[in-house]
């Protein structure tokens, strides 16, 4: 058997994760195991720990590359900085923030979930009220926020959150899920005073799943010394001990993911992180123009929250968005994202993050058009592609290495 | 360094060879060398030799999987069947038929090159005249024809050539270059009485370059016993001797290509060879509709010759088609085919053969539109994609494994 | 740069994990990401969950394939079955049992650590005393035991542990770390009444690190309903919910590891699990004969505990075993295991588990001989290899697929 | 199915080609096709053509990297430099020189085959007689010699051949098959006045089969202008034309092999070509010591001809060497070389060329010992390994990157 559910040609992977892996990364990971206690792996790790800080835009943070997923990275962020019963203000704006909040509650924190309508960003006015009311007691120990809500295609304004905390001189830790933002959206850990930021390897880093990267500010590290949440696997302390010894790993890392990360970072640095962010903005804008041309609305309700990594398009009530996704896969070898929970059946999602370029996206958009037609939506074939291409044609730079 | 001339995202490879390799084939080739004299390699080879006949649609032919390119496969076809000075009627309709004719002459044959305007198919009326004049002497020992001229996107009518030979009861061998046709276009070695057919691994088989596959009819094998052309590396005799011994290889084969071919054939058989041909027809038609929508003409002058594996689009005189190709690569990571020789600067080529699907093609077509705009051609963005999508939307089947 | 610390030829990987990955597994993992919500991944997962039970020899267990390491698998086993303060009898016989006990304590259990001299197996007499004293109260909620202590090369007798629990009709859960045993040593989850068994992908399964496989008996699943340990990432409940839905994954799995596991199991089943165990016994015996021939003693003090997956050889006091390991790597491209903690500097370890054969081991043993000579130990070159080969020459079967 | 004839653990590949591919080369070749007419491939090729000269130790030679095997490389060397009927002195010392002579005859040259007993080197006294007799006419157009006869493990003295040509001021071209020598044995194209030297990718370069590398001296290039042998695929002229144009390829190269060669050369240069040669000498010496310790004789009759890339060991008359090879493969996953033609059944061959290190060889030698015992030869297990290890232990350097 060749493969499960084989179809001719390339699979067009446009879910918002896991995303397309660049060939050089696949190549780098095509390798044997190695003894992680030999000098080679610590040498590699040391440099990675330095380089990975760059994608967080931090010089003061301490990164942990944990063999886990985003869910595990969440848990690491929370249990290392907080104690059971600690009050956390958390924003509920979609399925992934909901899941994080669920985790926060199950881990025993006192979560104040600030809900927005799905399609809107974090309710910062509500945050400000809470910060104001919390003075001078400062019972709120942390503000937890998803930078980019993958379920609705909504990007929160982290600088504004930091500004509010500063304005109220509030010492709460700022914990940020950057799973679908870091390495794709503008993210500035140090400048925005983020205390813990985290991402997963299978998102904008464009690697396989399996590495949760958590970066802790000096304040977060300090907090970890007194945080009483029970933790072992996710405990930063063990990592820090092995960092000190120069062997780096409290338990066995994936050799393949380390070499994969090396190459993934090399590619990002070769393109330039800011250019990567620009490329995501370009692809996000093009997608939104296509959605608009199709006459569909964006689940994200305001431009200020538009996400450059994922777009959730709302289908008319007579159409089941799950059928859009199923059909895309069955007929065009195109993987789109389902609507989740409250927006199940109502939106389908186009992930446009990671190692992706203009023509890949245009192929996807063209496929979406055909799918929409197939499921009975009166789309004008070519309309979205034309709108997207008109924009891309004016904004795509020459590939620097080829000039 | 990550790679030469790195650009983000996937390279869109639309030259008419080498073509996109399916991931399962890359995977199958990701392997160590093996002793080709151990029992494993002959066992694998034996089955491959049987299975490869299916892509030629022959049951009586004898295939040779030679470590060479298409150029070597040509040489193998000629030197094994002909003697120096033998008269060969050969059709000159583009760069690749020209190169083959050049080879025929350098190998010492007496070539009667029947030229057509580039963009037209083989001049069969001229063939008929020659066949008629050649009776009853039968000095013409072979008719050599390129099934699909890759330079102009012209497919010749092999059934008609056979019909002429039969009509005139002419015993000339029919030698066919199927490099850009076999496994993509309808090809029937036995039914059409083809005496030698050949292809290369990097074309519709969707593998790396390095295996020239030559298939000989019983008449061709018989001819090889008396053919006096000097040959050693390409000599079928050595292969036949090792076939008889059951060890199959007169010299070292590429282990990797053998396993790659195994998987390539598995994929083709899983899709069904006839479905593969239909898919190529679908993608070829879609491409031609796009070219038409752009207001460009097809280098191929008549529908009867339209190629389903490559389309050469003619640009207006004020545009240099080489600039189209350069620009596509520099800005959009899109590889198109250059115009060659007589049509250099005048056409660019879109290869749509091998392991390819609808959305890949639509991404390419969208890219071509942007490139055309960039080089100053007044294309309406989305026009070609819309035309292609309208057709594909009506003709693309569900993926059988996913229904 | 070709690679970190390149040396010509193959690296001889003889640490007791991560181990050598077979080429077919590397090949299977050489692939793109996929949408794990498409029908393909659940279909693959469903079969894997059935097949993975076979390596535990269970039909009633429920497996969880968690994106984590062995340390995480430990945590999953403990937190899902126990509540803070629960009494656990745990055997301390080497570094890995020590680390697990440390984890048990940090997770809040009341651990009764039964220590043996390093090089001895679990003190079952002490267990029996505790079980006897615990009647009828049954305050002991779990017995936690490492099947194979990787630091000392000691294999515990699980059947004897089960027999004691049965003899005393004690309901304590039997939690087993099978990290360096499962798929290599005789392991019988159902027959031995193991309640939770666990392993990691990078050990005898011969895959990269990144999948912790935990298998829960019906009693363990029942216990998980009332266990009050805090857990989210490791919570079986979330897995069970997605099992019920048929989507299987509460969060993103590694696509690559799933396909890798598919192939790893295929290879194990093709060889036959019992033959795999026999092969490990053969290689373990050969190693011990070599160690004996060199005049070194085995850290494992009695034959009843001899491990077939790792051998810790004791060096004379005048030699630093760490130097043995360093030198092997620097001169012969050979990776051996260091002595850990109490036996640091005193033992070096030869891992002989996973996808390994006789000649690989003999190459390693020959290398160890040269290293011993280099560090000043008066070894007779060839002596260990001769002893091992004499045994292997009498016990190695023909390769079934090649007869 | 996992693979043809699967056996657990690594296959021990000790045929004298194809040889073990280093993992970094496999990795580099794990890639998609590319347009070979884009700027990337010529840029890569240009550097490769410069770098590949280093393995020939030439600064004045012109290399051709032909998509073919060693047999094709032979044909390229001959047909580009000679005309039908040209007199060639050729040395017959084993199966591969025999095959080359067969090719020379079939290509129409007037071959004077100077035969030695198999196991002896080229008969240089006979060469001198011929050179003397040929004065002043100089009818001998070329001397063709296999540097290393792979069938018997005999290395010829090329410097001596050159000295004879110089002594007699004979203008014959010196054509050298370096298939099993270049990149492994001391080879000096310029210093020894070699006119055409050639090798194949699957030998000491440690790549897959598929690239025949032919290097032509200025005299050889000059000769190619007037050589009248018929050739097209192998014609240097076409290559030279494309070299001049800077596009380099008259027909499609294997993209994968180009990147593979890049990495293969990187590894060789990192180790240092002279160190590579020393390593081969070390492994060759160790093998010969083992053969001697087993009480077997070397097919190569004198030390001056000992080959550092392959050793042919002679078995006693009561043993069939083919059974040694079959049994090694069936029981120990060890691939050895068969005896060929005159020495079929009489010798088995151990290939010790390419990317190989000490412990790999010792594993092989240990396997050969067990096989010898199995087939009834009274070998003392460990004897050969001990002899080899004693030598290696004194001669193996530390790995420079690890000091």
**Chains contacting B with at least 3 CB pairs below 8 Å?**
A, C, D
| Cβ atoms < 10 Å from Cβ of C272 | 12
Query: Which pLDDT score is estimated for D1?
Result: 42
- pLDDT value, residue A5: 87
- Would you list the DSSP string of A197-254? EEEETTTTT---S--EEEEE-HHHHHHHTT-----STT-HHHHHHHHHHT---SS---
Average pLDDT estimate for D379-396: 98
Contact between A27 and D27 using a beta-carbon 8 Å cutoff: yes
Q: What's the complex ipTM?
A: 0.98
| B16 → chain D, closest CA residue | D35
Q: Could you give the percent of chain A with pLDDT greater than 70? A: 99
Q: Is B177 helix (H, G, I), strand (E, B) or coil?
A: strand
Contact A28 D31 (CB under 8 A): no
- Given this model, what pLDDT does residue A3 score? 58
The stretch A166-185 carries a mean pLDDT of: 98
Does residue A160 have a pLDDT over 80?
Answer: yes
The pLDDT, as a whole number, for residue D2 is: 42
Task: Give yes or no for a contact between B348 and B337, defined as CB atoms under 8 angstroms apart.
Answer: yes
Annotated binding-site members of C for substrate:
349
Could you tell me if D28 and A27 are in contact, meaning their C-beta atoms sit under 8 angstroms apart? yes
| Region of residue C328 (phi > 0: left; psi between -120 and 50: alpha; otherwise: beta) | alpha
Among B23, B30, B33, B42, pick the best mutation site for testing chain C contact (most C Cβ within 10 A). Answer: B30
- Phi and psi at C149, nearest 5°, equal -80, 110
In percent, the amount of chain D with pLDDT more than 70 equals 99
Write out chain A residues lying below 8 Å of B385, CB-based. 362, 366, 381-382, 385-386
Task: Give me the pLDDT at residue B3, please.
Answer: 58
- Which of B13, B35, B75 is closest, CB to CB, to D335? B35
In this structure, of A162-166, A261-265, C155-159, C399-403, the range with the lowest mean pLDDT score is: C399-403
Is residue D312 within 8 Å of D347, Cβ to Cβ? yes
- Report pLDDT digits (tens) over A221-236: 999 999 999 999 999 9
DSSP-derived letter for residue B20 is P
pLDDT at A2: 42
Counted across chains A and D, CB pairs separated by less than 8 A come out at 16
**R_g (Cα) of chain A, nearest Å:** 21
Domains of chain D: 12-19+273-402 (3.90.1150.10), 23-269 (3.40.640.10)
Test D27 with A26 for CB contact under 8 angstroms. Answer: no
Bridge partner residues of D144 (DSSP): D90, D175
Tens digit of each residue's pLDDT (9 = 90 or more) over D266-276: 999 999 999 99
Cβ distance D253 to B21 less than 8 Å, yes or no, reads no
Q: CA D307, CA D281: separation in Å to the nearest integer?
A: 8
Q: Is B402 annotated as a binding residue?
A: no
For residue D214, what is the enclosing H or E element? strand D212-216
A 10 A CB-CB count for B190 gives 14
Query: Which chain C positions have a beta carbon within 8 Å of B31's beta carbon?
Result: 23, 27
Q: Terminal CA-to-CA distance of chain A, rounded, Å?
A: 43
Tell me which chain D residues have a C-beta less than 8 angstroms from the C-beta of C395.
Answer: none
Q: Measure the CA dihedral C284/C285/C286/C290, to 10°.
A: 100
Residue A19 to residue C67: CA distance in whole angstroms: 17
Buried b / exposed e over B6-43, threshold 16 CB at 10 Å, is bbbbbbbbbbbbbbbbbbbbbbbbbbbbbbbbbbbbbe
Task: Please provide the size of chain B in residues.
Answer: 403
Tell me the average pLDDT across A58-80: 98
Q: For every one of its 403 residues, what pLDDT tens digit does chain C have, with 9 covering 90 and above?
A: 445 689 999 999 999 999 999 999 999 999 999 999 999 999 999 999 999 999 999 999 999 999 999 999 999 999 999 999 999 999 999 999 999 999 999 999 999 999 999 999 999 999 999 999 999 999 999 999 999 999 999 999 999 999 999 999 999 999 999 999 999 999 999 999 999 999 999 999 999 999 999 999 999 999 999 999 999 999 999 999 999 999 999 999 999 999 999 999 999 999 999 999 999 999 999 999 999 999 999 999 999 999 999 999 999 999 999 999 999 999 999 999 999 999 999 999 999 999 999 999 999 999 999 999 999 999 999 999 999 999 999 999 999 999 9
Contacts of A263 in chain B (CB under 8 A): 2
Q: Is the dihedral of CA B272, B275, B280, B286 positive or negative?
A: negative
Q: What is the 3-state secondary structure (H, E, C) of C173-195?
A: EEEEECCCCCCCCCCCCCCCCCC
**Mean pLDDT score of chain D, rounded to an integer?**
97
Mutate to test the interface with D, among B17, B95, B100, B232 (most CBs of D within 10 A): B232
Burial of C133 (0-12, 13-18, 19+ CB in 10 A): exposed
CB contacts < 8 A, B to C, total 16
Helix axis angle for D383-395 and D358-374, nearest 10°, is 170
Q: What is the pLDDT of residues D242-272, one digit of tens each?
A: 999 999 999 999 999 999 999 999 999 999 9
Rounded to 10 degrees, the C-alpha dihedral D280/D285/D286/D290 comes to 140
How high is the pLDDT of residue C5? 87
**Helical (H) or strand (E) element with C112:** strand C110-115
Q: Consecutive 10-residue runs of chain B (403 residues): their mean pLDDT?
A: 77 98 98 96 97 98 98 98 98 98 98 98 98 96 98 98 98 98 98 98 98 98 98 98 97 98 97 98 98 98 98 98 98 98 98 98 98 97 98 97 92
Residues C282, D377: Cα–Cα separation, whole Å: 24
Cis peptide before A324 (omega within 30 of 0): no
For residue C174, list its beta bridge partners: C143
- Name subunits touching A (3+ CB pairs < 8 A): B, C, D
**A370·B389 Cβ contact <8 A:** yes
Residue numbers in C near A253 (CB within 8 A): 209
Say how far apart CA B284 and CA B287 lie, in whole Å: 5
Over residues A177-182, the mean pLDDT reads 98
**Chain A residues touching chain D at CB-CB below 8 Å:** 23, 26-28, 30-32, 39, 402
Residues C331 and D399: beta-carbon distance below 8 Å: yes
Q: A288: which 2 tokens?
A: 């939104």
Which one, of A366, A309, A307, lies nearest residue A332 by Cα? A366
Strands D87-92 and D110-115, by their bridges, are: parallel
- For residue A372, give Cα distances in angstroms to A336, B301, C196, C336: 12, 36, 49, 59
Which residues, including other chains, have CB under 8 Å from residue D400's CB and lie 6 or more apart? none
Nearest to A331 among B270, B331, B398 (CB): B398
Given A18, A26, A255, which is nearest C208 (Cβ)? A255
* Binding site listing of A: 349
Residue in chain B nearest C28 by alpha carbon: B27
Q: What is the pLDDT of residues A124-144, one digit of tens each?
A: 999 999 999 999 999 999 999
Average pLDDT value for residue range A66-85: 98
Helices and strands per DSSP (H, E), number in chain A: 13, 14
Candidates A382, A390, A391, A397, partner chain B, best to mutate (most B CBs within 10 A): A382
Contacts of C182 (CB under 8 A, 6+ apart): C55, C56, C147, C197, C199, C203, C204
Q: Is the CB of A30 less than 8 angstroms away from the CB of D27?
A: yes
List all chains that touch chain D, counting a touch as 3 or more CB pairs closer than 8 Å. A, B, C
Which of chain A's residues have a Cβ under 8 Å away from the Cβ of D30?
Answer: 26-27, 30
Residues in chain B within 8 Å Cβ distance of C30: 26-27, 30
Compute the average pLDDT of residues A20-47: 97
What pLDDT does A298 receive?
98
The closest of A71, A19, A66, A46 to A254, measured between CA atoms, is A66
Nearest chain D residue to B96 by CA distance is D251
Predicted confidence band of residue A1 (pLDDT cuts 50, 70, 90): very low
Q: Is the pLDDT of residue A4 over 80?
A: no
Q: How would you class A400 by CB atoms within 10 Å of its CB: exposed for 0-12, middle for 13-18, buried for 19 or more?
A: middle
């Amino acid at each position: 058997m060749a493969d499960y559910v084989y179809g001719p040609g390339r699979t067009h992977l446009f879910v918002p994760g896991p995303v397309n892996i660049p060939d050089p990364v696949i190549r780098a990971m095509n390798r044997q195991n190695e003894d992680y206690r030999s000098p080679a792996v610590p040498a590699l790790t040391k440099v990675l720990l330095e380089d990975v800080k760059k994608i967080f835009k931090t010089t003061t943070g301490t990164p942990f590359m944990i063999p886990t997923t985003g869910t595990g990275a969440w848990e690491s962020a929370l249990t290392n900085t907080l104690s059971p019963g600690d009050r956390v203000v958390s924003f509920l704006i979609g399925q992934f923030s909901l899941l994080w909040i669920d985790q926060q509650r199950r881990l025993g924190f006192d979560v104040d979930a600030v809900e927005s309508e799905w399609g809107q960003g974090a309710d910062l006015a509500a945050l400000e009220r809470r910060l104001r009311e919390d003075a001078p007691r400062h019972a709120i120990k942390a503000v937890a926020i998803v930078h980019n809500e993958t379920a609705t295609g909504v990007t929160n304004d982290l600088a504004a959150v930091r500004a509010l905390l500063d304005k109220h001189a509030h010492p709460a830790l700022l914990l940020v899920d950057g799973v679908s933002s870091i390495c794709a959206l503008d993210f500035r850990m140090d400048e925005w005073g983020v205390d813990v930021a985290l991402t997963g390897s299978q998102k904008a880093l464009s690697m396989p799943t399996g590495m949760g990267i958590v970066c802790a500010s000096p304040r977060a590290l300090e907090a970890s010394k007194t945080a009483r949440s029970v933790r072992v696997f996710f405990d930063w302390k063990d990592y820090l001990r092995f960092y000190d010894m120069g062997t780096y790993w409290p338990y066995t890392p994936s050799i393949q993911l380390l070499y994969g990360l090396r190459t993934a970072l090399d590619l990002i640095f070769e393109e330039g992180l800011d250019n990567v962010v620009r490329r995501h903005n370009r692809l996000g804008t093009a997608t939104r123009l296509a959605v608009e041309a199709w006459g569909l609305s964006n689940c994200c309700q305001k431009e200020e929250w538009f996400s450059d990594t994922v777009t959730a398009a709302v289908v008319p009530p007579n159409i089941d968005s799950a059928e859009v996704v199923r059909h895309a896969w069955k007929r065009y070898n195109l993987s789109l994202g389902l609507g989740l929970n409250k927006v199940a059946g109502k939106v389908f999602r186009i992930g446009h993050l990671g190692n992706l370029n203009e023509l890949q996206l245009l192929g996807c958009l063209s496929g979406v058009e055909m799918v929409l037609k197939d499921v009975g939506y009166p789309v004008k074939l070519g309309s979205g592609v034309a709108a997207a291409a008109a924009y891309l044609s004016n904004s795509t730079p020459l590939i620097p290495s080829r000039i």
